[in-house]
Structure 1
Amino acid sequence: LYTRTTDVYPAIKERADFANANKGDLFVSIHVNAGPPVKHSKFAGYRKETYYTGKGKSRKKRTRTVPRYTTYFTPNPSRGTETYIWAADRTAAKGDYVSERLSEVVDEGAEYTPDLNDPTFKAQSLLWTKKYFTKSLLLANLVEEEFVKEGRESRGVKQRNEKGIWVLQATAMPSILVETGFISHKPDEEYLNSKKGQEAIAENVLNAIKRYRAATEGK
């Protein structure tokens, strides 16, 4: 299932809600990365600067020589792929969505509504959350392995602790976010815009999912 098939931009929450509502087994988000221009300062000689000392009648005008710098920017050199899994400090948030989905599963075959605060239910939810983390890490590593096989530069599997990534922590299933390259890096941009590059990226991700499925079936 796709969260979108046209050039629209559904809200981040809508994407996670869509995945949860359809009880997905896996959530894969495909992204393109970008790095900000790199700022540089260069010594450009000296200049005279006027300043004052003292107050009232004692106030005096003075001058001094200070260095002068010019600022310029160059393209960000960052390149390659990286795949994200949800951050360690977002495990509690992930657990909340896992608990919600688990309660729906239990409720479908039971005559009662499970207590989300019940210690046994909480323990079961925690086990599923850990299981999803392990599976997410496995898939992320497989994706990066496939990119490396293709000759791409891999920046590895990462977590973003300072902000988190909503679609990863708000989906009750194993989930990854794949950064397929940097549009701010010319060779990466050309690869991402080419038919060959797009087909290779799709095949790399597909192969990783096939390997993931083979490794996790029945587990």
Structure 2
Amino acid sequence: MKLLIIEDEQGLRDNITNYFNEESDICESCGCLNTAIEKLSAYEYDCILLDIGLPDGEGFAVLDYLREKNRNEAVVIISARNSLDDKIKGLNIGADDYLTKPFHLAELKARVVATYRRKTFNTNNKLIFNEIAINLLGRTVEVNQIRIVLTRKEYDMLLYFIANKGKVISKTAIAEHMWGDEMDMHDNFDFIYTHIKNLRKKLLDANCKDYLKSIYGIGYKFMTE
């Protein structure tokens, strides 16, 4: 997953970032409302962890922004405020979950995964796309009921393509989603081609239909049939 952590407490922000990075998620973070809006205007994310008490404004403004722009990121509010009014307000204007501080990072991870799974795939633990079956909890993939072994990047890339099936996705969008700020270290998109080539080969070797199509000069499209 690609996460945006909006939290003004540096220590907590670093702890969350390090924890999710260890799980091979891509994390970007900021500590104020203005920077959060700037990032959201430039990039898309799978899930946003949102503190509503920010130094330059209420985090609720992020939810307003997402709603105005018809964005579909999953949002988990993380806040020291435990009043019923704040919880109801956050959930009513677009948050998907509300977790009160202090919390265990393992619980936060579980909430994020569950929220992302419901919002993106409308499913519980298993995602089925034709002959491809993905166990979202175990992070395993089967094709025609035969397990195939994917790297973490290949697995995340397959999820990203299925979540956006039928859409033409630019190489830039793939790079931003899969590598976040790290993409700036690359001079070209050859590294994307390598991962896609490997993923496609593993799927075809398992007698999967060839869903991944290259769109010349633009990027890739995961076909729906």
TM-score w.r.t. length of structure 2: 0.27
Give the number of the structure whose alpha-carbon radius of gyration is greater.
Answer: 1
Q: Tell me which of the two structures has the higher relative contact order, counting C-alpha pairs closer than 8 angstroms and 6 or more residues apart.
A: 1
